[in-house]
Structure 1
Amino acid sequence: MNDPGQRQVALYDTTLREGGQAPEVNLDAQAKVRLARALVATGADAIEAGYPMTSPGEFEAVHAVAGEVGGSVIVAALARANRIDVMRANAALAGAARPRITVFVQVSEVQARAAGLTLDQMAQRARESVARARDLVADVQLSLGDVPRAQPGFVAELARAAAEAGAGTISLVDSAGVATPEEIGRAVAGVREALAGLPASVSVHCHDDLGLATANAFAGVLAGADQVECSVNGVGERAGNTALEEIAVLLRVKGPAHGVDCAVRPAELASASAIVELATGYSVSWNKAVVGRHAFVHSAGVHQDAVLADDSSYGALGSVFGAAPGLALGKHTSLAGLRAALVASGASPTTRELADMYRRLKELADAGRSPLTLADLLPAAESGRSGR
């Protein structure tokens, strides 16, 4: 259970929006509502339901989620910094108990040029759109795209102007996934300083192109970010985003030493992962952190012996999930590991049966048999009985 004495970091889940725009993924309203229910179960603080301007179907999907999710969770809709997008987002959120309009602009010169605008034009649109959105809903977020490649002074100035215009959250986005933890930490610290005296939170939105999304998000939290934007299984554009399950468990395990925590329920993460995997068609790697089928399975005999004696020796996350470590069968399996697997299955092998099965396990593994199950070892046990 999270400690209310710690600084609580909000998790803003963007599985429905970022995950929904991942290559070859198209989530309809029914799929989004089903996923939203799973996200509510995890304890996520906010759900970004989608980008209503994308299509009529996307508008209806966001509207369906807004009507489905209760008051315990914020429902957000994404909008570009223009009047039409903001109005469309607001209409899609009708019925939401806690609506949020998330306006986004690009703040690096390279991305502003790609959009055909100057930085000054971007800043003006951001201020106007935040003010317009604030007239419609009480909760407005401004997302600043490509912060790591932008001028820190410009970012800080725009962040403060947006907060003064009514933005309750300023999100710093590593749009191209090129930042390091140090760079994210500096960006967050700079914006927090710029927001001094204003009631605005700082959020981080990291992409995983360099495999650093979770590390970057955690660095942002340590620098003072109040919110992390993430998605289940890390699904999203290109290489994806900070994975909800990874940052949630990282905050739960390492956060207390830094005075931070989050409200996500670790026991619900595997179920949410499976639902997202099915909805998106993006298979979860067996060795994927936290939710992979082998994430807590031990194969090496020295590891098996250690976790059987004390599951915190190698299974340090076991206490977070309340799950016993798994033991795989293979050429590295220890005798104690095989015995434990047999006992867990309800078997009570004699010393000779155990020895015969262990010998057969090694023979099959050396011959390349994979995967191996206890059933594969039964002939050895039968042979042992007939030889008595």
Structure 2
Amino acid sequence: MNAPSAASTPVSGTRDRVVIFDTTLRDGEQSPGASMTLEEKIQVAELLDAMGVDVIEAGFPIASIGDFEAVQEIAKRIERAVVCGLARAAFGDIDRAAEAIKPAQRGRIHTFIGTSPLHREFQLQLDKEQVYERVVASVTRARNHVEDVEWSAMDATRTEHDFLCRCVEAAIKAGATTINIPDTVGYATPEEYFALIRMLIETVPNADKAVFSTHCHDDLGLAVANSLAGVRAGARQIECTINGLGERAGNAALEEVVMAIRTRADVLPYETGIVTPMLLQASKLVSAVSSFAVQHNKAIVGKNAFAHESGIHQDGILKNAETYEIMRPEHVGVKQTSLVMGKHSGRHALREKLKELGYELGENAFSDVFRRFKDLADRKKLVYDEDIEALVDDEISMQSETARVIALTVIAGTGGPQKAIITMDVEGVHVTKEASGSGPVDATFNAIREIIPHTARLSLYQVHAVTEGTDAQAEVSVRLEEDGKIVNGRGADVDTLVASAKAYVSALNKLSVRRQKGRPAEVMKAS
């Protein structure tokens, strides 16, 4: 028969409910190195339940004692979702799964068998009739335990259509309430998968008595596209995992199928029960317990999914978020759009970032800061808020410097206490003070404190020789902390003590600016 094109009108014009079947704890955990502890599995399952997942495939009970205990414990705790256990087409598997899910308020047994020629011949070493008989026997056995039975034709997309139809019909007749059509090796294209689901629904006589399900792997990067094509063809359950975790290249990503349905309601007139603002939380939890990092450019939950560095993009986002964002970050649990400051950022983005940080500069001052920002961005991959604050503070300090070093004399050596005498210009007035200390630097800083009293804590003092030799210029870095404010000061001189005094005073000038953030900016508007 000629199947309708995947691009044709959706099967239903209403917002049909799509069941979300999460297999992170079963198929996802099969990823090499992704094993989770019992406590971690329970934590993930409880979050999935709270997030609105309809069916949680908690594990493969026959696989190990640990898997059995995990499924059983999850079955005891989950309040809303159906708890599912996987079983091969073997009575021992099915009975073990039934025992594991017995405590669940709503339990499901999911049994499967390979149906493609490759699986029949090389893996199972069974002929078509033997596979058919096992389909009937396994579903019947499962149905004797529970009313909710799912049957899967493993490698369905490479199975002969007539044999697949025969097996699906038999499974439904034996009592299966959900029929899963897996693209086990991620081989199908969306058009092919659409046609397969539509063919089964239109050809199998009792197809209306079961829910059809998709289970697509991502070997060709088509898992999400295939899953959505299956829904458009009439499937009403999507099997997926958080972050797309799973065998080889993984499964269809839950967060992607859910947000595609939510965002493109115009062409995907369906709905799910997922609380989407919990998606990022679920992604982070699964990433943490599985030790599988989420790639930065991962759709929906990746670090860069709502981040913009390009100046053109940032300008558009600031004018209207819809120019470059098709969904709102808060819809998936991200607090806000991130304007990543880097060498591609433009003036508009920097000005908005400065406002966000509490600065409003005059045009001349802003131009100077923008020039220095670009210079810094060429040297650094990312420019952080602290870097920008330092640039502005430097600029303000240069234009509104309240104190500077005029002269310094230090008495040091083994013969007596170290002493420093410093003269400073403070707002146009020369002031001289003397102080002693446990060393020449300590004495110098104590003398400065006599002129500019403060409570800031010195958290860094670092000396670096700019060039080689005993006459090298010294570059000193100083960091001061006060009430959560952190400032850095730098000074350079052939005399290390003079450089130290300059750095310390530089930091104090910046600290003064930080204490009055906002007021210096107003002064600079006229600059």
| TM-score, normalised relative to structure 1 | 0.95
3-state secondary structure, aligned to 2:56: strand
Shift of 1:321: 4.0
Select the residue among 87, 109, 126 that pairs with 2:95: 87
Instruction: Flag the 1:135–1:194 CA change in 2: closer, same or farther, 3 A.
Output: farther
Q: 1:175 aligns with which of 184, 194, 207?
A: 184
Secondary structure at the residue paired with 2:24?
coil
1:246 partner amino acid: E
Match of 1:311 in 2: 321
* 1:377 counterpart = 2:374: no
Distance 1:347 1:195 in 2: 68
Shift of 1:354: 2.7
Question: 1:349 and 1:373 mapped to 2: Cα distance?
Answer: 19
* 8 Å CA contact retained: 1:357, 1:378: no
CA contact (8 A) 2:45 2:78 kept: yes
The structure, 1 or 2, with the larger RCO (C-alpha pairs under 8 Å, 6+ apart) is 1
Alignment of 1:212-361 (within 5 A): 212-318=222-328, 320-321=331-332, 324-361=336-373
The answer to whether the Cα contact below 8 Å between 1:100 and 1:139 also exists between their aligned partners in 2 is yes
Shift of 1:257: 2.9
* Post-superposition offset of 1:37: 1.1
Return the match for 1:111 from 115, 119, 138. Answer: 119
Query: Does the CA contact (< 8 Å) of 1:12 and 1:48 recur in 2?
Result: yes
Give the whole-Å Cα distance in 2 for the aligned partners of 1:231 and 1:175: 14
CA distance in 2 between counterparts of 1:324 and 1:270 reads: 12
CA 1:373–1:134 in structure 2 vs 1: closer, same or farther (change >3 Å)?
same
Q: How does 1:109-148 map to 2 (within 5 A)?
A: 109-113=117-121, 114-148=123-157
- Report the alpha carbon displacement of residue 313 of structure 1 after superposing the two structures with TM: 1.0
User: 4+ residue stretches of structure 1 with deviation over 6 A?
Assistant: none
Tell me how far apart the structure 2 counterparts of residues 379 and 324 of structure 1 sit (CA, whole Å).
Answer: 24
Query: 1:313-334 deviations in whole A, cap 9, x for unaligned?
Result: 1111117448542211011112
Following TM superposition, by how much is the alpha carbon of 1:121 offset from its aligned partner in structure 2, in angstroms? Answer: 1.2
Q: CA RMSD in A?
A: 1.7
Distance (whole Å) between structure 2 residues aligned to residue 84 and residue 294 of structure 1: 47
What does residue 169 of structure 2 align with? 160
CA distance, structure 2, for counterparts of residue 154 and residue 353 of structure 1: 76
The question of whether the paired residues in 1 share the 8 Å contact of 2:300 and 2:332 is answered with no
1:201 is matched with which residue: 206, 211, 218?
211
> Is the 1:353–1:380 contact (alpha carbons within 8 Å) kept by the matching residues of 2?
no
Gaps of 5+ in 2: 1-13, 401-527
**Helix, strand or coil at the partner of 2:182:** strand
Q: Which residue is 1:47 aligned to?
A: 56
Q: Secondary structure at the match of 2:180?
A: strand
Could you tell me which amino acid in structure 2 is paired with residue 191 of structure 1? Answer: L
User: Which of 80, 96, 104 matches 1:96?
Assistant: 104
Answer 1 or 2: which has greater strand percent.
Answer: 2
Give 1 or 2 for the bigger CA radius of gyration: 2
AA in 1 matched with 2:200: V
Structure 1 residues 174-183 or 8-17, which shifts more? 174-183
Q: What secondary structure sits across from 2:96 in the alignment?
A: helix
Between Structure 1 and Structure 2, how many residues are aligned?
A: 383
Which residue in the other structure is 1:59 paired with? 68
The answer to whether the Cα contact below 8 Å between 1:126 and 1:162 also exists between their aligned partners in 2 is yes
Residue identity matched to 1:125: R
Sequence identity percentage: 37
CA distance in 1, matches of 2:358, 2:19: 44
**SS at structure 2 position matched to 1:160:** helix
Structure-2 separation of matches of 1:140 and 1:53 = 17
2:216/2:252 contact within 8 Å kept: yes
Contact kept, 8 Å, 1:47 with 1:75, in 2: the verdict is yes
Residue type of the partner of 1:218?
L
Letter in 2 for 1:68: R
Q: Structure 1 residues 47 and 359, CA, compared in 2 at 3 Å: closer, same or farther? A: same
Instruction: Write the letter of the residue equivalent to 2:382.
Output: P
**Alpha-carbon distance in 2 for matches of 1:343, 1:119:** 70
SS at match of 1:126: helix
The offset of 1:340, in angstroms, is 1.6
Which shows bigger deviation, 263-272 or 352-361?
A: 352-361
Alpha-carbon separation, structure 2, partners of 1:101 and 1:378: 58
Partner Cα separation in structure 1 for residue 365 and residue 324 of structure 2 = 29
Which ranges of structure 1 fall in alignment gaps of 5 or more residues? none
- Provide the rounded CA distance (Å) in 2 between the counterparts of 1:238 and 1:228: 19
Q: Secondary structure at the match of 2:322?
A: coil
| Offset, 1:256 | 4.2
More helix by share: 1
Cα offset for 1:186?
Answer: 1.2
Q: Which moved more, 1:137-146 or 1:324-333?
A: 324-333
**TM, length-normalised to structure 2:** 0.70
Residue 374 (structure 2) aligns with: 362
2:463 maps to none
Distance 1:304 1:154, change over 3 A: same
Looking at structure 2, the residues matched to 154 and 362 of structure 1 have their Cα atoms a distance apart, in angstroms, of 65
Q: Distance in 2 between matches of 1:129 and 1:76?
A: 16
Q: Deviations over 1:44-69 (max 9, x none)?
A: 11100000010011100110111110
- Partners of 2:389 and 2:272 in 1: CA distance: 47
